[in-house]
Chains A and B, each alone.
Chain A
Amino acid sequence: EPEVTQTPSHQVTQMGQEVILRCVPISNHLYFYWYRQILGQKVEFLVSFYNNEISEKSEIFDDQFSVERPDGSNFTLKIRSTKLEDSAMYFCASSELGTLDGYTFGSGTRLTVV
């Protein structure tokens, strides 16, 4: 079964450093998403991406965040200057047509900011 792959599974970074979280969406999917889950809390939408541009973003997705599809397979989330409160699980998801058919989440990257 096709999977969304995220790397690394766990990243520890110092406050103020930049991090890039990587995702390989399912190959024929056109819509890509990032979500965040702070420990013990609900999953929160960050951003959706289609046709090489952001289609929607939440209030959480401020200027320190950016997304990119640098090539035909990867989808990245960059956090420019990490803060302690950025510590969370970050989930990538993809869907074929922006509908719920085939909407699939990756296993996540646990980001720890120290």
Chain B
Amino acid sequence: GQQLNQSPQSMFIQEGEDVSMNCTSSSIFNTWLWYKQDPGEGPVLLIALYKAGELTSNGRLTAQFGTTRKDSFLNISASIPSDVGIYFCAGQPREDNQGGKLIFGQGTELSVKP
């Protein structure tokens, strides 16, 4: 089935450092999304990518949709303590034409030491 492999599983970094995480799949995805989830909350959308090769920024966050449509990365620059949380990649499979199912990666748990 469609699966997203997200890495790393967890990261423990110092405040001010840059962070990079990525997702890969053996299947083609039409859209890639990056979400952040705080404890006890639902996922909140950070960045959405719609075209292969697209590079999009949202403040200190930058994400790219791979040219093969099978991968994506998220970079966070100059991390701050409030960046702590779990980051999920998600994608809408190419075959999905029934209204918006999302496939999620396993998540990257980010810890930031002040």
Point out residues on B near A: beta carbons under 8 Å. 31, 33, 40-45, 48, 50, 88, 90, 92, 96, 98-107
A41 to chain B, nearest CB (A): 7
Is A42 touching B107 in the complex (CB atoms < 8 A)? yes
Is A41 touching B106 in the complex (CB atoms < 8 A)? yes
User: Within 8 Å of chain B (Cβ to Cβ): is A43?
Assistant: yes
User: Within 8 Å of chain B (Cβ to Cβ): is A56?
Assistant: yes
Interface centre among A45, A55, A110 (most CB of B within 10 A): A45
Rounded to whole angstroms, the CA-CA distance of A107 and B37 in the bound complex is 10
Q: List 21 A-B contacts (CB under 8 A).
A: A35-B102, A41-B106, A42-B104, A42-B107, A43-B43, A43-B90, A44-B104, A45-B102, A45-B104, A48-B101, A55-B99, A56-B96, A56-B98, A56-B99, A98-B100, A99-B100, A103-B45, A107-B40, A108-B40, A108-B42, A110-B40
